[in-house]
């Protein structure tokens, strides 16, 4: 008698057209997840999905209506959700005393409200023993000058994670967060070249002596998604920072 094939583990990653979201998707595929990429940039997310051989859905995380349609599409095509990673985010740095209202609203709308809206839209579609991982930041617990909106939004993500974890535990749905520090990405390198950040100074402040990599973050996310390895962990924020948060 043949053994039935196991059901695929279905994962949606938001902000997945590039950056950390795309790397999380790549590593999830390597661990046999069935992945759908969600991003507001329809052209970029379609190109990324075509390259990886996965499903793309275009939606703006600040629009509950678009998210509702997107998650319904994923479930129709792939089946119930086993995981959600909220990676969509941005920042608008600048002096707090003159930070434009539009910058504040944009960052909070995408980074905090967008995370909540995605969790809310996905909620009806989760299978039993599913998991959510939200992307927070060391900015949630460290004072970063000229990152006021970003810091406030990411602190909100940590609080949101705890609240949803407590509320949704009876549904057998775990909710955790990962808080990266500076990650060595093309964007970080470009900011260094433009003089916006001092790469050497940043690296020197990390106790482990290097910046994080996108894979460092992705592996932490995938650990928290995994029911076998992390099935008793919920409401936590795992800081992937080389020791910077508490000693840098």
**22-69 pLDDT per residue, tens:** 999 999 999 999 999 999 999 999 999 999 999 999 999 999 999 999
Rounded distance between C-alpha atoms, residue 122 and residue 12, angstroms: 9
Structural domain range at position 164: 9-241
Average pLDDT, the chain: 94
User: What pLDDT score was predicted for residue 5?
Assistant: 60
Residue with tokens 């969600």: 38
Q: Has residue 4 been placed in a domain?
A: no
Q: Has residue 154 been placed in a domain?
A: yes
Q: Has residue 141 been placed in a domain?
A: yes
Q: Has residue 25 been placed in a domain?
A: yes
For the domain that residue 103 is a member of, what is the CATH number?
3.40.50.720
Residue 196 tokens read as 């916006």
pLDDT tens, position by position, 137-157: 999 999 888 999 999 999 999
User: What pLDDT score was predicted for residue 2?
Assistant: 56
- Indicate whether 1 pLDDT > 60: no
Q: Has residue 39 been placed in a domain?
A: yes
User: What pLDDT score was predicted for residue 79?
Assistant: 97
pTM: 0.95
Q: Which of 6-15, 70-79, 202-211 has the highest mean pLDDT?
A: 70-79
Q: Has residue 1 been placed in a domain?
A: no
Annotation says 117 is catalytic: no
pLDDT above 70: percentage of residues in the chain? 97
**DSSP string for the chain:** -PPPPPPPEEEEEESTTSHHHHHHHHHHHHTTEEEEEEES-HHHHHHHHHHHT-EEEE--TT-HHHHHHHHHHHHHHH-SEEEEEE---------GGG--HHHHHHHIIIIIIHHHHHHHHHGGGEEEEEEEEEE--GGGTS--TT-HHHHHHHHHHHHHHHHHHHHHGGGTEEEEEEEE--B--HHHHHHHHTTSS-HHHHHHTSTTSS-B-HHHHHHHHHHHH-HHHHTT--S-EEEESTTHHHH-
- Indicate whether 168 pLDDT > 80: yes
pLDDT band at 198 (very low <50, low <70, confident <90, very high): confident
Q: Has residue 247 been placed in a domain?
A: no
Q: For the chain, what is the domain count? A: 1
User: What pLDDT score was predicted for residue 247?
Assistant: 85
Q: Has residue 96 been placed in a domain?
A: yes
User: What pLDDT score was predicted for residue 4?
Assistant: 55
């Amino acid at each position: 008698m043949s053994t039935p094939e196991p059901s695929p583990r279905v994962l949606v990653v938001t902000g997945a057209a590039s950056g950390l979201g795309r790397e999380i998707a790549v590593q999830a595929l390597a661990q046999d997840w069935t992945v759908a990429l969600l991003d507001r940039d329809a052209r970029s997310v379609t190109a990324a999905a075509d390259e990886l051989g996965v499903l793309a859905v275009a939606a703006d995380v600040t629009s509950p209506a678009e998210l509702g349609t997107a998650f319904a599409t994923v479930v129709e095509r792939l089946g119930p959700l086993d995981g959600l990673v909220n990676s969509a985010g941005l920042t608008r740095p600048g002096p707090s005393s003159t930070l434009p209202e539009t910058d504040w609203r944009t960052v909070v709308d995408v980074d905090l409200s967008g995370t909540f809206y995605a969790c809310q839209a996905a909620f009806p579609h989760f299978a039993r023993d599913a998991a959510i991982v939200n992307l927070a930041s060391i900015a949630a617990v460290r004072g970063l000058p000229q990152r006021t909106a970003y810091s406030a939004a990411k602190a909100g993500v940590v609080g949101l994670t705890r609240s949803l974890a407590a509320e949704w535990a009876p549904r057998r749905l775990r909710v955790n967060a990962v808080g990266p520090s500076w990650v060595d990405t093309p964007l970080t390198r470009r900011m260094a070249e433009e003089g916006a950040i001092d790469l050497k100074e940043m690296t020197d402040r990390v106790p482990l002596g290097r910046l994080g990599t996108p894979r460092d973050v992705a592996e932490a996310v995938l650990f928290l998604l995994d029911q076998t390895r992390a099935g008793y962990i919920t409401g936590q924020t795992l800081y992937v920072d080389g020791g910077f948060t508490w000693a840098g």
